[in-house]
Amino acid sequence: MAKKQLIMEKALELFAKQGFEATSVQQITDHCGISKGAFYLSFKSKDELIVGLIDHFLKEFTSDIDYVVNHTKNNGDLLYNFYYTSFNSFQKHSDFAKILMKELMQSFDEELFSKFHTYNKSLETVIMAMIERLYEETDEYLKFDLAFCIKGFLKTYSELILLYKFPLDMDLLIRSLVEKTNLLAKNMTISFISDDLIEALDQPVNEELPLEKIIEIVEKNIEDMEDSIEKESLILLKQELSKRTLPHAILMGLLANIQHHPHCKWSAYILRKHFDSK
């Protein structure tokens, strides 16, 4: 396991038990079995580690949802798969999500808020793409209202996972939200959204990264990985950035190879966006 990955995973265990503030760099290095010098080769400070963890979590959450929305072929399954992926992620990372919520409420870190805002806008983009696909005939104003309702469902019902410790019938929860969403989409007649709000909200929030930045991200990903099919796939995808030579089916296969690797999700996300735009 790469040193940086080890530090992140072991630190997350401590943060989940003790919180950010109560956990020291010394405790993290002891838990990892490394020296402080080795820690500071990977992260300049504990704050940088925390931002890195939050960044990783938000990337994984966003890219998972984007992947499901773009790869669910049957419209009848789309809402269910969207909600399932979202709440499964909340459940899978519930300990970290709890301390993330606390940190966002207490922190005034500009970089942290900036990252959260960026991924929040990315989520809005994915939700709007899903709404356009499912409810094409719905009034444009109402589509924006519906997007906020869906985000509200995610926030409100995630509290059942994050704040209360009892088992949930996930299938029942998701089917109920699918029903609610469809009822809203079919029966809403009054929109809160105005022309001014649409203009503000409709600004591009996911401008494509410059090619140089994409290559930099992929190279860093390759550098941090051990030899594996995912690493080989990333190398081939990086080569494809410079010169398109592979058939589309092979390109999609390489992206599928890396999609579910926990440290390749963001690379898969930005690479798919880049190749889809070409």
DSSP string, the chain: --HHHHHHHHHHHHHHHH-STT--HHHHHHHHT--HHHHHHH-SSHHHHHHHHHHHHHHHHHHHHHHHHHH---HHHHHHHHHHHHHHHHHHTHHHHHHHHHHHHH---HHHHHHHHHHHHHHHHHHHHHHHHH-TTS-HHHHHHHHHHHHHHHHHHHHHHHT--S---HHHHHHHHHHHHHHHHHH-------HHHHHHHTS-S-PPPPHHHHHHHHHHHHHHSPSSHHHHHHHHHHHHHHS--S-HHHHHHHHHHHHTSTTTHHHHHHHHHHHHT-
Q: Which pTM does this prediction carry?
A: 0.70
Nearest 10 degrees: Cα torsion 53, 58, 59, 63: 150
Cα–Cα dist 44/31, whole Å: 18
Tell me the CATH number of domain 46-201, given options 1.10.357.10, 3.30.300.30, 3.30.70.20, 1.10.3720.10: 1.10.357.10
Domain with CATH 1.10.10.60 in the chain: 1-43
- Average pLDDT on 118-143 reads 89
pLDDT at site 2: 75
pLDDT at site 186: 94
Cα–Cα dist 254/230, whole Å: 8
Domain with CATH 1.10.357.10 in the chain: 46-201
Domain at 1-43: CATH code: 1.10.10.60
pLDDT at site 205: 46
Q: How confident is the model at residue 267 (pLDDT cuts 50, 70, 90)?
A: confident
Tens digit of pLDDT for each residue in 77-127? 999 999 999 998 888 877 677 666 666 555 545 666 667 777 888 888 899
* Mean pLDDT, the chain, whole residue set: 84
Tens digit of pLDDT for each residue in 48-63? 888 888 888 888 888 8
